[in-house]
Amino acid sequence: MKPEAVVHPFPAFYRPDSGILILGSFPSVKSREQMFFYGHPQNRFWRVLAALFDAPVPGSVPEKIALLEQNHIALWDVIGSCTVAGSADSSIRDVVPNDLRPILAAAPIRAIYVNGRTADAYYRKYQRSVLGRDAVVLPSTSPANAACSFDRLLSAWSVLKGTNE
């Protein structure tokens, strides 16, 4: 697939009571098509959140929004625009970061988590010094991280449960 310049096509999701901010790197092709986060059917993000919070796995965007709202979770991506070949994080170039300060100004974010090493690398490069806040790195829920079992993901991501209590 040929690299193309892409601007993040949908806004951050957060509410005034969001206490957790989860950051990805940049939305996949499927997410860009659906205009919402973690749209690839093989991405385990929604299954992990549903299992953590004892909820049904959401299928539609309104169901995903309800799960986020019920658990005070904000979602956004570190990257606002870049050159990328399809959904391959390894192909990301020419990064322009998103401004995360509006979320932190609008919501009482107690903890920031990054979904995978790529999001962590770009967070450290572009965000940490601007925000003065570290992020907790969680294993990627991407289908590209097939070496990480669902049980391992669930165990690692269980740190979210304590953040909003």
The reported pTM is 0.96
Q: Which of 5, 31, 1 is nearest to 141 (CA)?
A: 31
For 4-163, CATH gives: 3.40.470.10
Q: Specify whether the CB–CB gap between 80 and 96 falls below 8 A.
A: yes
- What does the alpha-carbon distance between residue 72 and residue 161 come to, in Å, rounded to a whole number? 11
DSSP-based three-state secondary structure for 56 = coil
Indicate the domain borders of the chain. 4-163
* Contacting residues for 117 by C-beta, under 8 A, at least 6 apart: 137, 140
Q: What is the pLDDT along the chain (165 residues), one digit of tens a residue?
A: 899 999 999 999 999 999 999 999 999 999 999 999 999 999 999 999 999 999 999 999 999 999 999 999 999 999 999 999 999 888 999 999 999 999 999 999 999 999 999 999 999 999 999 999 999 999 999 988 988 999 999 999 999 987 765
